[in-house]
Amino acid sequence: MSAVHPPRPYHGAQARQAANPIRPHFRSLPLRVGTRGSPLALWQTRHFLSIITRFCPVLRDAKAFEEHAIATSGDRIQDRRLADIGGKGLFAKEIHEALLDGRIDFAVHSLKDLETELPPGIVLACTLRREDARDALILGPSCGAPDPSDPFAALPAGAVIGTASVRRQAQILHARPDLRIEMIRGNVQTRLSKLQAEGGPAATLLALAGLRRLEMEDRASVVLDPDAMVPAAGQGIVGVTVRADDVELHELLSAIEDREAAAVSQAERSLLAALDGSCRTPIGGHARLLSDGRLHLTGLVARADGSFLLKRSALGEVAQAAALGRELGDSLRRDSPADLFA
């Protein structure tokens, strides 16, 4: 079984609690929280609620929140790649609409699925402490034994890898041009079940964060080093959106921001924005905070068939996280074939 991760303190919240006490008569309750309906989305929403109630005791009442599960176009359309149906915005479109219409007060997202340019009137109010950003390789019954020092060695020659992510596809094909890709979508559980099925793919790739949150980390055969498989911008981070004019709620949500998650996601999302922002082009972005306080950012651009792959890293100050992402993104774009950004 996967390890249970004890809740870690949110330093940002604690530091600001004294300076910014939340008023005891906090607007009318319940607060309506929007989320997708998948088990992962619901887990993330409850995780967020457990943090906000720890910080803000007036919201501890069981009736303080009302959960609104919203089906999105991304959930309904299962047979095509996101890149072919309008990109990652589709996981959030209906949730943004509910927010703008006032049917919900705020929404909990996987930051990875949230477009870099939000609709007018919606802002990202906070990001929570990052779960592991790495991808995991999940081997099915036809594969060899996992070898952490050579993760793809367990894949038989010509094996079929099930993934809908052009980023994962490009990187695995670059390392192993003999492999073939089959599109699989659906939630984490559905994708894992396809590995066991007759005629299903030999292996798949999933975010370790999702597996961990669903207590399925034991399904990860090998966890991939971020240099071997550059994760998606925002992977493993939960983000919360609110209406830009809802100052009171925005203030409350900002108070529980995790500063490290905010810095790395800013660098990664600026990189993504500078490159393209759609999910048709394989793009990876992964930032981490070094012990000396600086940010290390790795960016990747590739061709979906793996025939082109460019990876670069840069260092910068936390206060310049956005500029770091933008400059690395610009440099990658300058040195990649122009048709990748058409």
Ligand X SMILES: NCc1[nH]cc(CCC(=O)O)c1CC(=O)O
- Rule CB under 6 A: say whether 171 interacts with ligand X: no
Name the residues annotated as catalytic.
Answer: 113
> Alpha-carbon distance 36 to 52, whole Å?
19
Residue with tokens 């840069």: 314
- Rule CB under 6 A: say whether 89 interacts with ligand X: no
- Rule CB under 6 A: say whether 161 interacts with ligand X: no
Applying CB under 6 A, among 112, 167, 250, 303 the residue interacting with ligand X is 112
Interface segment toward ligand X; rule CB under 6 A; list 15-23, 107-115, 240-248, 326-334: 107-115
CB of 26 to ligand X, least distance (A): 28
Give me the long-range contacts of 144-150 (CB less than 8 A, separation at least 24): 146/221, 146/222, 147/222, 148/222, 148/223
Is 194:202 a contact under the CB 8 Å cutoff? no
CB of 32 to ligand X, least distance (A): 22
CB of 82 to ligand X, least distance (A): 8
User: Would you call the peptide bond into 30 cis, given omega within 30 degrees of 0 as the criterion?
Assistant: yes
> Alpha-carbon distance 278 to 85, whole Å?
11
CB of 235 to ligand X, least distance (A): 4
Applying CB under 6 A, among 89, 201, 210, 277 the residue interacting with ligand X is 210
Indicate the burial class of 182 (C-beta count within 10 angstroms; 0-12, 13-18, 19 or more).
Answer: middle
Residue 141's region, left for phi above 0, alpha for psi from -120 to 50, else beta, is alpha
Token pair listed for 109: 């997202």
- Rule CB under 6 A: say whether 207 interacts with ligand X: yes
Interface segment toward ligand X; rule CB under 6 A; list 65-73, 146-154, 202-210, 263-271: 202-210
- Rule CB under 6 A: say whether 81 interacts with ligand X: no
162 or 306: CB nearest ligand X: 162
How many residues of this chain interact with ligand X, rule: CB under 6 A?
10
Residues 221-260 that bind ligand X (CB under 6 A): 235-236
Strands (E), 15-152: 31-35, 65-69, 106-110, 122-127, 135-139
Applying CB under 6 A, among 110, 127, 266, 270 the residue interacting with ligand X is 110
Applying CB under 6 A, among 113, 132, 260, 327 the residue interacting with ligand X is 113
- Rule CB under 6 A: say whether 167 interacts with ligand X: no
CB of 188 to ligand X, least distance (A): 6
Complete DSSP assignment for 119-149: PTTEEEEEEPPP----EEEEE-TTS----TT
Where does this chain bind ligand X (CB under 6 A)? 110, 112-113, 188, 206-207, 209-210, 235-236
